[in-house]
Amino acid sequence: MEFRLAFDPPAFQQKISIHDKIFMIGSCFTDHIHSYFSTYKFNCLDNPHGTLFNPISIFKSLEQYIDNHVVEQEELFNQNGIWNHWDFHSKVSDYQKDIAVTKMNTAISNAHFFLKKSNWLIITLGSGFVYEFKDQFVVANCHKVPAGDFKKRMLSFQEIEESFKRLYQKLKTFNPQLKIVFTISPVRHLRDGFVENNRSKAVLIHTVSNLINEEDIFYFPSYELIIDDLRDYRFYAEDMVHPNYQSTLYVWEKFCNTCIEGKTRAYMNELDQLINAIKHRPMHPNSIDHLKFMEKYKQITIDLSSRFPDLNWYKELAHFTQN
């Protein structure tokens, strides 16, 4: 008897290689997937502005990277002794104004040069709701400013689509080789309300479906894999909102099969051997068997480093040559 319906997303026409540069931006789910990319030594840049949730703020930050925007000190505001910017997550804020500005401009500058050379841009949309400060502009983060200063509203399909189309033209002029992957975060924004969260996700899903062209704009169904495939609270963390380790690993495995080329997946399987070998804790580290074990994986590391010389193998080589 089957107790769930498994879902295998169709493979992308074009796929990610270990030699590609990957720019990732969006909700906190982006950070989870980025951690897997980092484990396998992919060249990635993740959320220079910090975690972003709504499409307008995500698209605006990407335009700032393209333009290499310079943040001026007068753009910042002080809240509870911390200098913040409406376009940035609070992790980029600081107690000293000049340090905060430097951190923000450094993030934009690094992102500008990385995005220019990137092969892939992965955008994870989190919420269709936005917060407008005093009916003037959409903010990326409220920075614990009193709620009465904001107007909360749902974005329309047309608003998101038009905003992206403007960005898309700038992106393709800035970096013609860039391919874009949209995904919707499976993190449930229940503070908005159960019904409101579903409406928010529906707005995002509907809008993105109108943007996909299968040439350079793709969709990966992170949201559907957790909501419709796994479909169980045991795949959520204690807060019943964020996906847990098992579910993010499941999504990552599906992502690999869907979006990553075969040669790169074969390399990743080889690297898994080293990852597991490094985790091994011997009872007798000076035994002949363990020394043979270390020599075996040292040679595997040397082989991989010769085949992938552009990747950093220092940690692995240091580990297997420590004796």
232-263 pLDDT, tens digit each: 888 889 888 989 999 999 999 999 999 999 99
Q: What is the pLDDT of residues 166-195, one digit of tens each?
A: 999 999 999 999 999 999 999 988 888 999
Residue type at position 38: S
Instruction: Enter the pTM of the model.
Output: 0.94
Question: Rounded distance, CA 77 to CA 59, Å?
Answer: 22
Q: Which residue has the tokens 């409220």?
A: 142
Residue 47 region by backbone torsions, left for phi larger than 0, else alpha for psi between -120 and 50, else beta: left
Confidence of residue 323 (pLDDT cuts 50, 70, 90): low
Can you give the pLDDT at residue 1? 62
Going by C-beta distance under 8 Å and a sequence separation of 6 or more, which residues neighbour residue 279?
A: none
pLDDT of residue 221 exceeding 90? yes
Residues facing 123 on adjacent strands: 25, 182
- Mean pLDDT computed over every residue of the chain: 94
- Which range in 20-24, 224-228, 319-323 is most confidently predicted, on average pLDDT? 20-24
pLDDT of residue 5 exceeding 90? no
Residues facing 83 on adjacent strands: 78, 94
Question: Rounded distance, CA 125 to CA 225, Å?
Answer: 15
Can you give the pLDDT at residue 233? 87
CA distances from residue 319 to 41, 284, 308 in whole angstroms, order as listed: 17, 16, 18
Question: Are 129 and 31 within 8 A, CB to CB?
Answer: no
User: Per-residue pLDDT averaged across 116-141, rounded?
Assistant: 95
Alpha-carbon torsion angle 169, 174, 176, 178, nearest 10: -90
Residue 230 region by backbone torsions, left for phi larger than 0, else alpha for psi between -120 and 50, else beta: alpha
Can you give the pLDDT at residue 7? 85
Residues facing 217 on adjacent strands: 180
Can you give the pLDDT at residue 249? 94
pLDDT of residue 130 exceeding 70? yes
pLDDT of residue 111 exceeding 70? yes
pLDDT of residue 2 exceeding 90? no
Q: Phi/psi of residue 25, each to 5°?
A: -150, 145
Can you give the pLDDT at residue 211? 95
pLDDT of residue 148 exceeding 80? yes
Query: How big is the chain by its Cα radius of gyration, in Å?
Result: 22
Going by C-beta distance under 8 Å and a sequence separation of 6 or more, which residues neighbour residue 124?
A: 24, 25, 26, 27, 29, 30, 33, 182, 183, 184, 185, 222
Domains and CATH numbers, the chain: 21-260 (3.40.50.1110), 270-320 (no CATH)
Residue type at position 26: G
Going by C-beta distance under 8 Å and a sequence separation of 6 or more, which residues neighbour residue 97?
A: 73, 76, 78, 83
Can you give the pLDDT at residue 206? 96
Question: Rounded distance, CA 42 to CA 255, Å?
Answer: 14
